[in-house]
Structure 1
Amino acid sequence: MKKYILIIIVISIAGFSRAQRNIEIAFKPGVSIPSLHAAGSDNPLSSGYRSQAYQDAALHAEYKFSRSFSIQPQLEYSLQGGRKNGLQAFPVPGEMAPLFPPGEAPAYLYADYTSETKLAYFLLPVLVKYHLNPQKKWDVYIAAGPFASYLLGAKNRTSGSSIIYPDENKTQPLDPQPRSFNNEDNIANDLHRFNTGITGHMGLGRKIISGSIFLEVGGNYGIIVIQKNSANGRNRTGAAVISLGYQYEL
């Protein structure tokens, strides 16, 4: 993973040294609509996640090589993750293992509750950007490139109460009394800190006297499975991102 970060840094420095025109800086707050994609596993812990809107914010510098082409390194804070509602699997807690004969405990139990996994990432993308009509007041552009990311923190929060079942068909409850699922766990140590992937967006900008305002719609996708242990599931991160920003020339 370190080599990806080094490559991105080298590209950024090279872009800065070769920039013959102007350099522009932009700040763009936005909304991340993430998804935890199951990574080809039949592990029930990997499936069932739904998207939920979170915060996203970025600061980028655009180094222009010509009227149409530029390179854009970016620093981005992105909240990602997902949410499950209703019947879902969870590992057998240690205190419930004695309820089963030795060696006959199922891999997972099932219950109806709500769980939310929230992952805070610091992303470093480097994008190649192409402007379709750079000399006009309204500018349409596209950008794409790789990113490296670092996990700042990760939490899993559960809530609700439910009767627990040994199978997803709810054939026989383990206990007729519901159990509370109100809890919050720090799961950062169960996940890989570094990731890499691809990102891109389309944008519409409007030039004003001191710079430009713009709206961007795009997304990112991580290619590394985030869990260290496949027993905790196999997921990849990804998110749609909508940003509104202001860019000005240095």
Structure 2
Amino acid sequence: MKKLIGLFVIVFCSGLVRGQVVAIGIRGGISIPNLTAGSGDANPINTGYSSRLGTEAALFAEWKSTERFSVEAMIEYSAQGGKKNGLQALNTPPEIVAMYPAGQAPAYLYADYKSEARLNYLLLPVLAKFTWKVGNTPFHVYVGAGPFACILVSASQVTGGQSPFYADPAGQQPLPGGSQSFDHTQNIRKELHRFNAGAEGLAGIAYRCGKSAVFMEGGGNYGFLNIQKNSQNGKNNTGAGMVALGYSYQFCK
């Protein structure tokens, strides 16, 4: 983390030395991530996720070649993951597998509980941006897109609720034993790949006053690589939408 921030500062300062138009800024807002099943890898475990809410924050520098075109580099914290609420599949626990003759235990059981995958990444996007002034007003609109590399900061699986196990996805065949507690938090970082890469895009509107600007933007990112190390339960890709507010200051004229 410290090395990444140091590299960011060095590149920013080099732009100042060369006399380029350089702006630096911050933004913060809401991340709306989800998990999608990899192509051909769909199964009851890695499908059925819906979006969760998380935090989005970034520090960025923007190098302007012209009034219309610029390159923006960011250090971005992005909450990723997804959630499931209600009847859902889980791998058959070993104690239940032991109740069946060898090789006859079902691969999945079902239960009615809450489950949330909380994944937090540090992204390093580099975006090409195009900006247009809105008439003679201080407002500007812009779009940007480009690749990113990222590193997994933390990952946990949080479950909660009580439910019996069911032998069918409709929840009509409860197993003996009554309700079980699903209140548990598990660190799953070692089960996931540490690195990923993908693409990010955004669009926004900015109000400029002198060298300062305030802006509102929305966009999204998507990781191209599957996140799981083990493909036993299928594979997933991460992605998130975001809405953010921010401020930037221009250092060179």
TM-score scaled by structure 2?
0.89
- Runs of 4+, deviation exceeding 6 Å: none
Determine the structure 2 residue equivalent to 1:28.
27
Determine the structure 1 residue equivalent to 2:241.
240
Q: Is the deviation greater in 143-152 or in 32-41?
A: 32-41
Q: Which amino acid aligns with 1:178?
A: S
Determine the structure 2 residue equivalent to 1:49.
49
Query: SS at 2:199's partner residue?
Result: strand
Say if 1:19 and 1:64, in contact at 8 Å, map to a contact too: no
> Deviation of residue 141 (structure 1)?
0.5
Query: SS at 1:44's partner residue?
Result: coil
> Deviation of residue 18 (structure 1)?
10
> Deviation of residue 38 (structure 1)?
1.4
Determine the structure 2 residue equivalent to 1:77.
77
Q: Which amino acid aligns with 1:65?
A: S
CA-to-partner distance for each residue in 1:67-123, whole Å, 9 max, x for gaps? 111100100001111110001111122222211111111111110000010001000
CA-to-partner distance for each residue in 1:133-161, whole Å, 9 max, x for gaps? 28851000110000001001100000001
Determine the structure 1 residue equivalent to 2:87.
87
Structure 1 residues 96 and 19, CA, compared in 2 at 3 Å: closer, same or farther?
farther
Query: SS at 2:190's partner residue?
Result: helix
> Deviation of residue 180 (structure 1)?
0.7
Query: SS at 2:193's partner residue?
Result: coil
Identity of aligned residues (%): 44
Q: Which amino acid aligns with 1:112?
A: D
- Matches of residues 1-16 of structure 1 in structure 2 within 5 Å? 16=15
Question: For residues 18 and 238 of structure 1, what CA distance do their matches in structure 2 show?
Answer: 37
> Deviation of residue 53 (structure 1)?
1.4
In the alignment, structure 1 segments of 5+ residues that lack a partner are none
> Deviation of residue 19 (structure 1)?
6.3
Q: Is the deviation greater in 171-180 or in 186-195?
A: 171-180
Q: Which amino acid aligns with 1:49?
A: Y
Structure 1 residues 19 and 219, CA, compared in 2 at 3 Å: closer, same or farther?
farther
Question: For residues 171 and 26 of structure 2, what CA distance do their matches in structure 1 show?
Answer: 50
Question: For residues 99 and 16 of structure 2, what CA distance do their matches in structure 1 show?
Answer: 67
> Deviation of residue 42 (structure 1)?
2.9
CA-to-partner distance for each residue in 1:161-212, whole Å, 9 max, x for gaps? 1110122133422215111111111111111111000001001000124400
1:181 aligns with 2:199: no
Query: SS at 1:99's partner residue?
Result: coil
Q: Which amino acid aligns with 1:93?
A: P
Q: Which amino acid aligns with 2:189?
A: A
Query: SS at 2:98's partner residue?
Result: helix
Say if 1:212 and 1:247, in contact at 8 Å, map to a contact too: yes
Question: For residues 167 and 229 of structure 2, what CA distance do their matches in structure 1 show?
Answer: 26
Q: Is the deviation greater in 88-97 or in 110-119?
A: 88-97
Query: SS at 2:95's partner residue?
Result: helix
Question: For residues 57 and 141 of structure 1, what CA distance do their matches in structure 2 show?
Answer: 19
Say if 2:16 and 2:22, in contact at 8 Å, map to a contact too: no
Query: SS at 1:230's partner residue?
Result: coil
Say if 1:21 and 1:66, in contact at 8 Å, map to a contact too: no
Query: SS at 1:86's partner residue?
Result: strand
Q: Is the deviation greater in 103-112 or in 139-148?
A: 103-112
> Deviation of residue 61 (structure 1)?
0.1
Determine the structure 2 residue equivalent to 1:112.
112
Determine the structure 2 residue equivalent to 1:142.
143
Structure 1 residues 100 and 18, CA, compared in 2 at 3 Å: closer, same or farther?
farther
Question: For residues 136 and 74 of structure 1, what CA distance do their matches in structure 2 show?
Answer: 28
